[in-house]
């Protein structure tokens, strides 16, 4: 089932287009919504929640139009906002229970589930602590817990690792992956950190200044592509060694793109390219720092890199 579908979706603020006729589908699984600040991510989330009506086009979430069925759609969505502003004097348990009730979970059930999800996110022992006494990492976990407690069909997580150190970020990403895979909850993870999207997402929707840059499975958008990449350790004046290696490779019919001491080779089988690279380096007494398959990364989607 498609979790979210947008068709020519447009949002205009005066003359500015926050979303410019974007069309894409978000299938089940974990989908990364990536883009820089101002790309249109938060606008898209507000449309998905039915908090804003599109200027043009259409959007459906879980098969319903959120502009027409806002409360109904929202009761099936768990949302965790980017900002970490929370009611400081409220215990985590009360906060999670309160929002679960507002999302349609009966009182006693909400109480049970609040405890369960707080244990799930690793705050079982801390669940009666006031939110104001919690660290940034703990508050991010509470935000995830309140989103999950209502047993949503779709989770919208806006920058869930914001403010976390690397260890906490790894733990948070693992939690999100666990929620999605073990509990079959579709997740849309809005983030400007492409590396974390590459780590846990199955699909990617990339936005840039309101336009759709790319959309599809992560396997299609990133991964190994034709050619190899090599990096030289070149201390020679004016990159003489590098230029010699490049000349030799080009003379043997290899296409070479040069970016400093990084050479991108293409035009033949990987194994052939690797042999030629090795031979040319040895021939000119150059030193090789790294040789690897050529990979396409999410950054390349935004930087006009290899498609």
Partner 1 sequence: MTTSEIYSAGYRPFEGERTGWFAAVSTLTWSAVRSILGLGRPARHKVFPVIVIALAFLPAVVFVGLALLFPVDMFGSEAAPNYWELLRFTWLPVLVFSAMVVPEALVRDRRNGLFSLYLTTSLTRGRYLLGKAVASVVVLAVVISAPAILYLVGLTAEGSGPDSVLNWLGTLGGITLSGGAIAALLIGVGFAISSMTDRRAFASVALALLFLVAPIVTVALTESGMSEHWRLLDPAGVAMEFSPRLWGDTSPEYWALSNFSVFLGQILWLLASWAFVGYRYRKVSAL
Where along the sequence are the contacts to partner 1 (CB under 8 A)?
Answer: 42, 45-46, 49, 51-52, 70-72, 74-75, 77, 79, 81, 83, 85-90, 94, 98-99, 101-107, 109, 113, 116-117, 119-120, 146, 148, 150-151, 158, 182-184
Residue closer to partner 1, measured from CB, 22 or 149: 149
In the complex, minimum distance from the CB of residue 249 to partner 1, in angstroms, rounded to a whole number: 52
Q: How far is the CB of 270 from partner 1 (least distance, A)?
A: 44
In this complex, which beta carbon is closest to partner 1, that of residue 32 or of residue 66? Answer: 66
* C-beta closer to partner 1: residue 72 or 220: 72
Q: What is d(CA 156, CA 150) in angstroms, rounded to the nearest whole number? A: 13
Report the chain's C-alpha Rg in angstroms.
Answer: 24
- Number of continuous H segments (helices) and E segments (strands) in the chain: 11, 13
DSSP state of 261: T
First to last CA, the chain: 28
List the Cα angle 95/153/150 in 5-degree steps.
20
**Residue 66: CB minimum distance to partner 1, A:** 11
Q: Measured from the CB of residue 192, what is the shortest distance to partner 1 in angstroms? A: 16
Tokens of 18: 């926050």
Task: For the CB of residue 13, give the shortest distance to partner 1 in the complex, in Å.
Answer: 12
The values of phi and psi at residue 72, to 5°, are -65, -45
CB 238 to partner 1: min, Å: 54
The residue among 4 and 222 lying less far from partner 1, judged by its C-beta, is: 4
Is there a contact between 28 and 62 (Cβ–Cβ < 8 Å)? no
Q: Are 225 and 294 in contact (CB under 8 A)?
A: yes
Residue 187 or 221 having the CB closest to partner 1: 187
Tokens at 104, concatenated: 């349609």
Q: Toward partner 1, which CB reaches closer, 45 or 164?
A: 45
Alpha carbon separation from 300 to 60, 211, 305 (Å, rounded):
29, 16, 4
- Closer CB to partner 1, 26 or 117, in the complex: 117
Task: Please report how close the Cβ of residue 56 comes to partner 1 at its closest, in angstroms.
Answer: 20
Cα 14 to Cα 26: distance, rounded to the nearest angstrom: 28
């Amino acid at each position: 089932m498609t979790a979210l579908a947008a068709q020519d979706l447009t949002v205009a603020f005066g003359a500015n287009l926050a979303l410019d006729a974007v069309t894409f589908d978000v299938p089940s699984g974990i989908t990364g919504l990536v883009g820089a600040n101002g790309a249109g991510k938060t606008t898209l989330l507000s449309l998905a929640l039915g908090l804003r009506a599109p200027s043009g086009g259409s959007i459906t979430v879980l098969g319903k139009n959120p502009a027409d069925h806002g409360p109904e759609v929202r009761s099936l969505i768990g949302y965790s906002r980017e900002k970490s502003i929370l009611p400081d004097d409220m215990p985590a348990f009360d906060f999670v229970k309160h929002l679960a009730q507002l999302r349609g979970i009966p009182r006693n059930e909400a109480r049970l589930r609040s405890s369960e999800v707080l244990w799930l996110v690793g705050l079982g022992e801390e669940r009666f602590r006031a939110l104001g006494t919690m660290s940034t990492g703990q508050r991010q976990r509470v935000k995830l817990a309140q989103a999950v407690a209502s047993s949503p069909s779709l989770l919208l997580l806006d920058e869930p690792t914001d403010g976390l150190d690397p260890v906490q970020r790894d733990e948070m990403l693992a939690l999100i992956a666990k929620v999605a895979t073990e509990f079959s909850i579709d997740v849309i993870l809005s983030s400007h950190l492409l590396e974390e999207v590459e780590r846990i997402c199955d699909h990617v929707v990339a936005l840039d200044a309101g336009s759709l840059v790319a959309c599809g499975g992560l396997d299609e958008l990133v991964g190994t592509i034709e050619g190899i990449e090599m990096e030289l350790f070149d201390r020679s004046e004016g990159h003489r060694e590098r230029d010699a290696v490049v000349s030799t490779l080009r003379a043997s019919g290899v296409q070479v793109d040069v970016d400093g001491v990084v050479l991108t080779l293409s035009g033949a089988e990987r194994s052939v390219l690797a042999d030629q690279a090795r031979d040319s380096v040895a021939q000119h007494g150059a030193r090789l720092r790294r040789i690897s398959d050529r990979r396409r990364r999410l950054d390349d989607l935004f930087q006009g890199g290899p498609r």
